[in-house]
């Protein structure tokens, strides 16, 4: 666990970039709050272990989204929704490990299909443009024009996921490799690819293959650095012939779309 955590954001009223440092005692308080007073919760222990490995990608919002995702994986397992699980965008496999741990604990008998370029982000499009007065140090615009942010080598990810024999890794630009799972059904899909095109493509592909009662988690919804992901969710939901049974935006970014029972 890190001793301190710096969080920055652009203040809309003034355009100024603000930073706040959470010291150790504040983080301990967050631990208590986020773990709902249950620091012995195995999901919480998993998350702490992951954050310790990659402290640079830590933030309060990210912790909350990862916890929500882990709890969703557990809930979907317990409710017995049929189907495999998929993830689009795994980077260093922090979210993948959290999902897989929950599935393993629940006696999951399916496959977890993980799609990533393992070469980082694809080129952003017009929908992904962040207004200059809202840009933070974390978005693609801070990447000095290289579009390959979050590139993590496939071998590194494979080694990290050795404990989970039910995971299949698909290297390629989304949606290139989706046809390989076209005949599968899914109970849970995690989409965390930051940009409009792969987020939209993932929704278009997986939603029709989601089992009744299944859920899609989109990590980047309403995150200021990734307006394309928000737009992709809105465009997709607006275009559906019948709306999701539940549309649940989370307080610090991220959204869950749940499919209705048959």
Ligand X SMILES: C[S@@+](CC[C@H](N)C(=O)[O-])C[C@H]1O[C@@H](n2cnc3c(N)ncnc32)[C@H](O)[C@@H]1O
- 77, 43 in Cβ contact below 8 A? no
Centroid of chain to Cα 116 = 12
- 44, 35 in Cβ contact below 8 A? yes
What part of residues 59-118 is at the interface with ligand X (CB under 6 A)?
Answer: 89-92, 94-95, 116-117
Name the residue nearer to ligand X (CB basis): 179 or 241.
179
The widest CA-to-CA distance across the chain, in whole angstroms, is 52
Name the residue nearer to ligand X (CB basis): 24 or 156.
156
What part of residues 147-166 is at the interface with ligand X (CB under 6 A)?
Answer: 150
Residue 124 makes contact with ligand X by CB under 6 A: no
SS3 25: helix
Name the residue nearer to ligand X (CB basis): 133 or 168.
168
CB neighbourhood size of 68 (10 A): 20
Structure tokens at 167: 């995971």
What part of residues 202-261 is at the interface with ligand X (CB under 6 A)?
Answer: none
Residue 173 makes contact with ligand X by CB under 6 A: yes
The interface region with ligand X, picked from 1-9, 189-197, 207-215, 249-257 by CB under 6 A, is 189-197
| Residue ranges of E strands in 111-155 | 112-116
| Residue ranges of E strands in 35-97 | 84-88
Residue 199 makes contact with ligand X by CB under 6 A: no
Which burial class, exposed, middle or buried, applies to 224 when counting CB atoms under 10 A from its CB (0-12, 13-18, 19+)?
middle
> What are the distances in angstroms from CA 248 to CA 10, 35, 49, 68, 258?
25, 20, 27, 11, 8
Least distance from C-beta 200 to ligand X, angstroms?
A: 11
Name the residue nearer to ligand X (CB basis): 77 or 152.
152
Query: By CB under 6 A, how many residues form the interface with ligand X?
Result: 19
Centroid of chain to Cα 123 = 19
- 164, 95 in Cβ contact below 8 A? no
Least distance from C-beta 192 to ligand X, angstroms?
A: 4
The interface region with ligand X, picked from 14-22, 188-196, 202-210, 242-250 by CB under 6 A, is 188-196
Least distance from C-beta 100 to ligand X, angstroms?
A: 12
Least distance from C-beta 165 to ligand X, angstroms?
A: 20
Judged by the rule CB under 6 A, the positions of this chain that interact with ligand X are: 89-92, 94-95, 116-117, 120-122, 150, 173-174, 192-195, 198
């Amino acid at each position: 666990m890190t001793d301190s955590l710096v969080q920055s954001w652009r203040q809309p009223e003034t355009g100024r970039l603000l930073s706040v440092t959470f010291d150790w005692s504040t983080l301990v308080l967050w631990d208590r709050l986020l773990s709902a007073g249950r620091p012995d919760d195995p999901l919480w222990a998993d998350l702490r272990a992951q954050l310790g490995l990659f402290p640079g990608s830590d933030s309060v919002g990210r912790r909350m989204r990862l916890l929500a995702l882990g709890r969703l994986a557990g809930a979907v397992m317990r409710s017995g929704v049929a189907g495999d699980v998929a993830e689009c965008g795994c980077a260093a496999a922090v979210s993948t490990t959290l999902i897989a741990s929950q599935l393993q604990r629940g006696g999951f008998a399916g496959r977890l299909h993980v799609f990533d370029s393992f070469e980082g982000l694809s080129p952003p499009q017009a929908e992904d443009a962040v207004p200059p007065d809202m840009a933070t140090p974390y978005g693609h615009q801070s990447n000095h024009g290289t579009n390959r942010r979050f590139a993590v080598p496939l071998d590194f990810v494979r080694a990290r996921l050795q404990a989970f024999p039910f995971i299949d890794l698909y290297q390629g630009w989304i949606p290139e490799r989706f046809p390989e799972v076209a005949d599968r059904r899914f109970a849970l899909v995690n989409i965390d690819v930051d940009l409009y095109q792969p987020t939209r493509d993932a929704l278009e592909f997986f939603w029709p293959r989601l089992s009744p009662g299944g859920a899609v988690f989109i990590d980047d919804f309403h995150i200021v650095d990734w307006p394309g992901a928000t737009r992709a969710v809105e465009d997709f939901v607006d275009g559906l012939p019948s709306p999701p049974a539940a549309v649940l935006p989370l307080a610090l970014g991220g959204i869950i779309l749940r499919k209705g029972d048959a």
